[in-house]
Amino acid sequence: MISRVGGVGQSLNFYLFPSLSRPTAQWIGTSLMFAQVFLSLAWLRAQLVLVDEFLGSHLSRLARRIVTWFVWAAAALFVLGWALWTANVGSALVAAITFSVTNAPVFPLALAGSILLAVGARVLPDEPARRALSVLGYSYAVLFTLLSILTLVVARLRLLSPPVFLSADLVLEFAYNAVTVVWVLRYADAFAAPAPQVADGGRAFDQLCEAFGISKREAEIVALVCQGLTNREIADRLFISVGTVKDHNYTIFQKAGVRNRTQLAQLFTQPSIARDHAGEQAPAASSTQGTHPHRLLPS
């Protein structure tokens, strides 16, 4: 039966090619099933990259690395399963096992990433960004919980007929895209980059960099962060790797006493925040480095 090669084969046989012979429908369905695995893995990594870019925290970087390792391992298994299937070794059984092992964890891992986004957003100092990311994280968490239940429980126990299962899956995945579009339209302004006031290499910017002990290369990265560039865009602009940019970001955060890119950009672009931050840092700096408190705030 075509149902043994997965939901894609089921829907293909039920909706599109009822007149095809079983071997032909099985071949097309299994091929699409492997393609679905590949796209699911690529989408999962993109989802965790999105979370990491928003949060820029140690935990989000760790989650991104773990998911990247999983994706590469699953991709290797995917290629092996595809090769065995095309060589007709185990045929549908190999396809079903490969699909199950590589595709089953996708939605649970995406759910974990959504929870990380919702929880990590709570420490952001910017209220609009914190509210926007919390809404996105919890919305994704609900959708991925339903998708996980649908694919791991309902599908395995065959609680729904193939057409009903497919319809439910399509509705939830459409809801995911709809939520993303609506969220962007509603909360895009929360992430609008402030107009750089001191990130142009001016005297005030240089004084802040000197006060925090930021090197010339780190200052270049700070300036680009203040302009709203992503880590990838910064890496391309400076001809360095994304990993190097992240390492610089971590060092800069430590020196400036901030937790993420949003706080860093606010510190270097909004005078009132720089003044408050200078007041907090002045006692420690003056006691450990002999720096005059007023040097922490550009005049």
DSSP string, the chain: -GGGG-HHHHHIIIII-TTS-HHHHHHHHHHHHHHHHHHHHHHHHHHHHHHHHHH--HHHHHHHHHHHHHHHHHHHHHHHHHHHHHTTSSTHHHHHHHHHHHHTTHHHHHHHHHHHHHHHGGG-S-HHHHHHHHHHHHHHHHHHHHHHHIIIIIHHHT-S-HHHHHHHHHHHHHHHHHHHHHHHHHHGGGGPPPPPSS-SS-HHHHHHHHHHT--HHHHHHHHHHHTT--HHHHHHHHT--HHHHHHHHHHHHHHHT-SSHHHHHHHHH-HHHHHHHHHHHHHHHHHHT---GGGGS--
Query: What is the predicted pLDDT for the residue at 232?
Result: 87
pLDDT at 295 over 70: no
Query: What is the predicted pLDDT for the residue at 151?
Result: 85
Report the pLDDT averaged over residues 60-71. Answer: 88
Query: What is the predicted pLDDT for the residue at 89?
Result: 52
- Position 251 confidence tier, pLDDT thresholds 50, 70, 90: very high
**Digit-coded pLDDT (tens) for 106-139:** 889 999 999 999 998 888 777 888 899 999 999 9
**Digit-coded pLDDT (tens) for 149-168:** 988 888 888 888 888 888 89
SS (H, E, C) 129-150: HHHHHHHHHHHHHHHHHHHHHH
Tokens 């935990």, residue? 59
What does the alpha-carbon distance between residue 142 and residue 138 come to, in Å, rounded to a whole number?
6
pLDDT at 290 over 50: no
- Predicted structure pTM score: 0.58
Query: What is the predicted pLDDT for the residue at 117?
Result: 92
Report the pLDDT averaged over residues 92-98. Answer: 64
Query: What is the predicted pLDDT for the residue at 289?
Result: 42
Tokens 């039966």, residue? 1
**CATH class, range 203-296:** mainly alpha
- Position 22 confidence tier, pLDDT thresholds 50, 70, 90: low
Query: What is the predicted pLDDT for the residue at 23?
Result: 64
Q: pLDDT exceeding 70 applies to what percent of the chain?
A: 71
pLDDT at 140 over 90: yes
**Digit-coded pLDDT (tens) for 170-183:** 899 899 999 999 99
Query: What is the predicted pLDDT for the residue at 292?
Result: 36
Query: What is the predicted pLDDT for the residue at 105?
Result: 86
Query: What is the predicted pLDDT for the residue at 181?
Result: 93
> Who wins on pLDDT, 42 or 279?
42
pLDDT at 14 over 80: no
Q: Where exactly are the structural domains of the chain? A: 42-191, 203-296
